[in-house]
Amino acid sequence: MPKMKIDGIEIEVPAGITVIQACELAGVEIPRFCYHERLSIAGNCRMCLVEQEKAPKPIASCAMPVAEGMVIKTDTPLVKKARNGVMEFLLINHPLDCPICDQGGECDLQDQAMAYGFDRTRYHENKRAVPDKDLGPIVKTSMNRCIQCTRCVRFATEVAGVEELGATGRGEGMEITTYVQKTLTSELSGNIVDLCPVGALTSKPYAFNARSWELRKTESVDVMDALGSNIRVDTRGAEVMRVLPRVNEDVNEEWISDKTRHAIDGLKRQRLDQPYVRRDGKLKPASWGEAFAAIAERMGKIKSAGIAAIAGDQCDAESMVALKDLMAALGAKGVECRQDGTQLQAGPRGGYIFNAGIAGIDKADLILLIGTDPRAEAPVLNARIRRRALNGGLKVGVIGEAPEDLTYPVERLGASAKALDDLGAFGEALKAAKTPMIIVGQGALARPDGAAILAKARALATVRDDWNGFCVLHTAAARVGGLDLGLTLDGGVEGVLKGCEDGSIELVYLLAADEIDTKRLGKAFVVYQGHHGDSGAHRADVILPGAAYTEKPGVYVNTEGRVQLAKRASYPPGEAREDWAILRALSGVLNKPLPYDTLEQVRARLVAVNPVFAAIDLQKPGAWGAFGKDGAASDAPLRSTIANFYMTCPISRSSRVMADCTALRRASLAVAAE
Amino acid sequence: MAMITADPKDVPQVASFEWTAENLAIAKGFVAQYPAGRQASAVIACLDLAQRQSGGWLPRVAMDHVAKFLDMAPIRVYEIATFYTMFSLKPRGKYLLQVCTTTPCWLRGSDAVMKACREVTGVGPGEVSADGLFSTMEVECLGACVNAPMIQINDTFYEDLDETSTKKVLEALKRGETPKPGPQVDRQTSAPVGGPTTLSTIRSE
């Protein structure tokens, strides 16, 4: 632990860090453009110059390792003069277009120019002009503003794993480009907008929409995949303007996927903003009273055992527990939350969560992916596996039809679950590994032999006191919460649909459940409570308009079993209401009032049903026990349940940006196939 | 205003590029000079070889082939090829005339050399002559100041030039001859004009 002195502060810092990090530990802020703590060191912007005693000239603090007895000064006239000079150079070619630049107000260059800028220019030559690049529907470029910090190049190369961006040319002719004029093929490309310290890369869907100081910022949790990425929802009035990542080292670090970031324009389309009741075969607008009355009337006519409910993939835990309690009060069959037909059971928690934790990937020395395509199912998690792979000493095996490029080298062990029976040399490596991870995806579980594959995967997993390597990667944000609440029925969603077809189920309550085959609902009376006019609403007999994830406070449990709180960022449109409140109101109309009237009481009820809901933002391996079912696996290939990353839920299906991304991806796949 | 065009859109399309058997062996030799797994270190040597094979410039397919050969992402190769002026991304003439115009050569008359080049080839710096034989480039010091002014034609230096001798060299090239490289005046390499003036008594036995 070297001891050093920074601006007179004596400090002991960990060996191997750089001066800029030591300064941060000492509480001294150093201006920087190219340095980013999650990317490799470039040292090319020169903004972080500091004075080191006995050094002949200022040093770039981001690239200088700390050493014993170093004396650093960051507030001397020399440092100030050096940074002023660097800033003047950076501004030689930077356009003075801050008033029309989307970065304005949250621009590193703008901020630091306030401290180090020169108020006139000494350069009278024309500024250089750089053609703008087309990086796809997510990233807008204005390359004249680029200061060549190369953060975007390093992000694409190191984190996203798509080596497509580069800096070509030299000197004044240097530019950031893909050179071959193609768009980025990454699910994480939106992050380069956050990384860009100037306005060269800005968000295309958000272009010229708002200024950062007009927005109200709300901390929330993403529901586009099961990772539960921590997000910040920026709203102006009732409108969600943008979604940005929030730092959570254990979940998403500071990245989010393009779907998380840009599916939000889907929140404005296809919304259900008032109740509807089907009369004479057509859905007609109705009042809440009429809608509830229609449900009550139908329920009065049927046996309570003929009622079943399906909870959707993006539901908050509050609405799911209210639905569970309502169904119990009615004496109904119950609630099913496994829309994709996964064979997971609500048994021991260790059997359905990502036990090792997302941060556990950093510790893994071997990863076996079974029936999953993490790049499509959880791109941020995939980036973490990539980083672990880059650090060396990681072996990754794949069983199933994972895509060609997962951004890290993999060993393909077979397309079907038969490969689990004989892993060959990989099996030896698995036995020898100290911290192996078995990651099971829904592609392996949402099929008739899913329980058998689950049992086989369980047998392979290393479970010790200090390591549980059995990991289930979910694709639905609500799934672990649903399983924690025990929302399973014998026969699963297939049983419910069969019941509808043969008439034994006469009323189905869909809580934002759209991923089922609605044609198979038969003659059942369908109540749809949700926020989008997707497949569930089209089939419904009564529609109760609910709230999307940004419009209600909610509890979500991510794939690793971490309970997270999302705050309300805006309000549901029109007459739509929060989902648990709708169920509470309906229970009153049905004369089975639920025993809670406030959100706090619902959350207390959640904890009563399952104590895990009390441990907010904590992750630990679940209880271990017996799960899965012995049996033979078929030799049908394991295929991820996600065919198109950009469209997986009613919100992303309604999003124009996601549609553009889908079209682009299809076009590039078509070109590649030629 | 400097308008940046790193990707020349007006270059002819080249359908494919493969190492010739001979060059493949040479390229493998470049790779063998570096430790295993560090084959990317051979990229500049391979690009130069590819440029020679494709007639003095690097079509995209050649860069892609080098990228594949060295197991690099293509963009990493484009970065290098666009950085170094020794690589051309546009077709060049058969003879690349690199006219040094740095101070020593300029003082000794590089303007006249440049004028001669322009007159014989009919084109200025950055262009290719109509017969496809010549392209001219103004370059900084090539380190032959003692023999200034000079031009580099492909891999060879022609030194101690003036307008007449430059024209003579270029006309010879036009005729398909190979003019004598080195000083174009009576001079042995960089020894004084007209023979040695010092150490004249020392003889090699």
**Rounded mean pLDDT for each run of 10 residues along chain A, 674 residues in total:** 93 95 95 96 95 94 95 95 95 94 95 92 91 93 95 96 93 90 90 96 95 96 96 95 96 96 95 96 96 95 94 96 96 94 93 96 96 96 96 94 91 93 93 96 94 95 94 96 95 94 94 94 95 95 97 96 96 96 96 96 97 94 92 91 94 96 90 75
Q: Is residue B3's pLDDT more than 80?
A: no
Interchain contact A179–B (C-beta under 8 A): yes
Whole-angstrom distance, CA of residue A591 vs CA of residue A526: 20
Whole-angstrom distance, CA of residue A520 vs CA of residue A500: 7
Nearest-Cα distance to chain A for B67, in Å, is 12
Indicate yes or no: CB of A179 within 8 angstroms of CB of B82. Answer: yes
Whole-angstrom distance, CA of residue B93 vs CA of residue B153: 11
Pick among A133, A174, A179 to test the B interface (most B CBs inside 10 A)? A179
Whole-angstrom distance, CA of residue A380 vs CA of residue B196: 74
Sole residue written with tokens 């419009």 = A551
Integer angstrom CA distances of residue B16 from B13, B42, B59, B62: 9, 21, 9, 8
Integer angstrom CA distances of residue A57 from A51, A116, A202, A330: 7, 19, 36, 79
Task: Check residue B197 and give its pLDDT.
Answer: 82
Nearest-Cα distance to chain B for A127, in Å, is 7
Indicate yes or no: CB of A128 within 8 angstroms of CB of B4. Answer: yes
Integer angstrom CA distances of residue A576 from A102, A271, A296, A560, B50: 33, 9, 20, 31, 66
Indicate yes or no: CB of B6 within 8 angstroms of CB of A166. Answer: no
Q: Which residue of B has its CA nearest to A143?
A: B4
The ipTM assigned to this model is: 0.88
Task: Check residue A625 and give its pLDDT.
Answer: 92
Whole-angstrom distance, CA of residue A622 vs CA of residue A357: 10
Cβ-based contacts under 8 A for chains A and B: 59
Indicate yes or no: CB of B76 within 8 angstroms of CB of A163. Answer: yes
Indicate yes or no: CB of A168 within 8 angstroms of CB of B79. Answer: yes
Q: Which residue of A has its CA nearest to B3?
A: A129
B2, B60, B79 member nearest A166 (Cβ) = B79
Q: Which residue of B has its CA nearest to A173?
A: B4
B5, B73, B79 member nearest A167 (Cβ) = B79
Indicate yes or no: CB of B73 within 8 angstroms of CB of A126. Answer: no
Whether the model clears a pTM of 0.90, i.e. scores above it, the answer is yes
Nearest-Cα distance to chain B for A181, in Å, is 9
Q: How confident is the model at residue B6 (pLDDT cuts 50, 70, 90)?
A: very low
Interchain contact A123–B (C-beta under 8 A): no
- B3: chain A residues, CB-CB within 8 Å: 129
Which positions in chain B have a beta carbon within 8 angstroms of at least one beta carbon in chain A? 1-7, 60, 73-76, 78-79, 82-83
Indicate yes or no: CB of A175 within 8 angstroms of CB of B76. Answer: no
Indicate yes or no: CB of B75 within 8 angstroms of CB of A166. Answer: yes
- A126: chain B residues, CB-CB within 8 Å: 1-2
Pick among A176, A180, A186 to test the B interface (most B CBs inside 10 A)? A180
Query: Using CB atoms within 10 A of its CB, is residue B170 exposed (0-12), middle (13-18) or buried (19+)?
Result: buried
Interchain contact A181–B (C-beta under 8 A): yes
**Identity of the residue numbered A600:** E
